[in-house]
Structure 1
Amino acid sequence: MLVAAALCPCPPLLVPEVASGAAAELDGLRAACFDALGVLAAARPDRLVVIGPAEQAGRGPHPQGATGSFRDFGVATEVSLGAAERTPERPLPPSLAVGAWLLSRTDWADAPVEGLGVGEPLSPGRCLSVGREIAASSARVALLVMGDGSACRTVKAPGYLDERAEPFDAEVARALGAADTDALAALDEELAAELKASGRACWQVLAGAAQEGAPLGGELLYDQAPYGVGYFVAAWS
């Protein structure tokens, strides 16, 4: 059963070494992420799963001890999902590497943890099913859900300006803050893809997980669009 969830964006710029001289610009976002992770720790789960969008090579399960790096972003920083006796051969996708970096800065560094890379095109129905399977896997499950909102909030955004982006992000922020699983489940798959919202599938996996068991309450901790990309942080418990 799902007992808690933290929702964070997954830009590699969250890692100060990657952001370099611009690191201070996201200090508020990092602080909100750590606050959300504190809610996970307080819930005392017996299984923690980090979920994030992934390209084909990074999709599927990643066991404890899986490693990743930010070499593709110009720095040698390496991370791992907890500790393991041997290092799995398949590297973490960037979203899970960011999640692992966040966890490494908290008390979760040595706790049991695993990852799941989710394909952005995964259908809403399949996302909900995956979430239900995760929630049913243990008595006390917690999720760290990585994913960004639209990338079309300004003319300088990665996807340029799209007037549909702001209302899409506003509804996502509202749903995350209210732990509204029905609204998350109803997010338009095609619109999310057009707006380059990488978190859509992961949020719907969360919705499926949260539909099993007692309802959770939500709190929105961050809702801004630096660099024209919608970033949200929320905690459910």
Structure 2
Amino acid sequence: MLVAAAVCPQTPLLVPQIAGNAAGELADVRSAALDAVARLCGERTDLLIVLAPTEGSGARRTGLTGSLRRFGVDYSVGGHDGATEPCCGLLIGRWMLERTFPAAVPAHEGWEVGEQTEPGECARLGRMLGERAARVALLIMGDGSARRTPKAPGYFDERAEPFDDAVARALADADAAALAAVDPTAARTLMVAGRAPWQALAGAAMAASSRAWHGELLSYRAPYGVGYFTALWTGAEPDATARDAAR
């Protein structure tokens, strides 16, 4: 069952070696993401699942090892052997795990979900992932709209900021229903890279409805015209919730 989740940006610019002289511009975003990962892994979990968006539709389990050479640096994560090349979000998720736990990364799995995957299928994926261990933590990778400013990758769209603001509220409130209701067509138009993983999180949280979910928005910024969210969801134990209600 899902017991905790973190939502983090998947931009490779979180890696200082890739950002170069611009590393300081994302220092607060990087710090918030690493804090979220550290707190996530402190929730006494049996299995950490990193979920990130990729092209197409459907989902598949994959490794968390690969090279960041595609981003201009000779740098690998997870003891890369050249056999696999997962999506960007999984590589950045693995980098954050290694940065947070340099001695030993917690027990984990990597999963990719296609950005064109329908909301209902995303929800089913989330429910399935939540059942992979007694205490599951999800590290959800993905970005908001890439159309926040005229210099953004997708140029400016006036709908981008309201869209991201609504996602930020849902993450802050641990509102799984609001995430589940995100319109995939709007997300695609606004070049949102996190919609499918967010909706998998919603499915997992709804399946763990006996827990009282608490959300915390640790960071919400849009440098370079792209929405970056960092949030942490924790679920109070069902018996603890019952005890509190009885007091």
- Aligned residue for 2:41, secondary structure, equals helix
Question: In the alignment, what sits opposite 1:208?
Answer: 203
Question: In the alignment, what sits opposite 2:100?
Answer: 106
- The alpha-carbon distance between structure 1 residues 58 and 22, as it changes in their structure 2 partners (threshold 3 A), is farther
User: Would the aligned equivalents of 1:58 and 1:93 in 2 still touch at CA under 8 Å?
Assistant: no
Larger mean Cα displacement after TM superposition, 210-219 or 186-195: 210-219
User: Would the aligned equivalents of 2:56 and 2:116 in 1 still touch at CA under 8 Å?
Assistant: no
How many residues are aligned here? Answer: 231
- The alpha-carbon distance between structure 1 residues 150 and 57, as it changes in their structure 2 partners (threshold 3 A), is closer
Give the root-mean-square deviation of aligned CA atoms: 1.8
Question: In the alignment, what sits opposite 1:89?
Answer: 83
The alignment-based identity, stated in percent, is 52
- Aligned residue for 2:52, secondary structure, equals strand
Q: What's the CA shift for 1:55?
A: 2.7
Question: In the alignment, what sits opposite 2:13?
Answer: 13
- Aligned residue for 2:207, secondary structure, equals coil
Question: In the alignment, what sits opposite 2:52?
Answer: 52
1:160 to 130, 155, 158: 155
**Mapping 1:1-237, distance limit 5 Å:** 1-55=1-55, 60-63=60-63, 66-80=64-78, 89-107=83-101, 109-213=104-208, 214-237=211-234
Q: Report the AA paired with residue 11 of structure 2.
A: P
Q: Report the AA paired with residue 71 of structure 2.
A: F
Q: Report the AA paired with residue 228 of structure 2.
A: Y
Q: What's the CA shift for 1:157?
A: 0.2
- Aligned residue for 1:105, secondary structure, equals helix
Q: How far apart in 1 are the matches of 2:171 and 2:87?
A: 24
Please identify the structure whose Cα radius of gyration is greater: 2
Q: How far apart in 2 are the matches of 1:168 and 1:57?
A: 22
User: Would the aligned equivalents of 1:150 and 1:165 in 2 still touch at CA under 8 Å?
Assistant: yes
Q: What TM-score do you get using the length of structure 2 for normalisation? A: 0.89
- The alpha-carbon distance between structure 1 residues 191 and 47, as it changes in their structure 2 partners (threshold 3 A), is same
Q: How far apart in 2 are the matches of 1:59 and 1:97?
A: 17
Q: How far apart in 2 are the matches of 1:59 and 1:70?
A: 22
Larger mean Cα displacement after TM superposition, 150-159 or 39-48: 39-48
5+ residue gaps in structure 2? 235-247
- The alpha-carbon distance between structure 1 residues 56 and 90, as it changes in their structure 2 partners (threshold 3 A), is farther
- The alpha-carbon distance between structure 1 residues 92 and 58, as it changes in their structure 2 partners (threshold 3 A), is farther
Q: What's the CA shift for 1:33?
A: 0.5
Q: How far apart in 1 are the matches of 2:106 and 2:82?
A: 17
Q: How far apart in 2 are the matches of 1:91 and 1:111?
A: 21
User: Would the aligned equivalents of 2:66 and 2:85 in 1 still touch at CA under 8 Å?
Assistant: yes
User: Would the aligned equivalents of 2:65 and 2:77 in 1 still touch at CA under 8 Å?
Assistant: yes
Larger mean Cα displacement after TM superposition, 192-201 or 29-38: 29-38
Q: Report the AA paired with residue 200 of structure 2.
A: V
Q: Report the AA paired with residue 186 of structure 1.
A: A
After superposing on structure 2, the runs of 4+ consecutive aligned residues of structure 1 that deviate more than 6 Å are none
Q: Report the AA paired with residue 90 of structure 1.
A: T
Q: Report the AA paired with residue 46 of structure 1.
A: D
User: Would the aligned equivalents of 1:68 and 1:94 in 2 still touch at CA under 8 Å?
Assistant: no
| Deviation sequence 1:75-94 (CA, Å, 0-9, x none) | 011002xx7xx958222211
User: Would the aligned equivalents of 2:58 and 2:117 in 1 still touch at CA under 8 Å?
Assistant: no
Q: What's the CA shift for 1:216?
A: 1.6
| Deviation sequence 1:168-209 (CA, Å, 0-9, x none) | 000000001111000000000000000000000000000001
Q: How far apart in 2 are the matches of 1:227 and 1:5?
A: 26
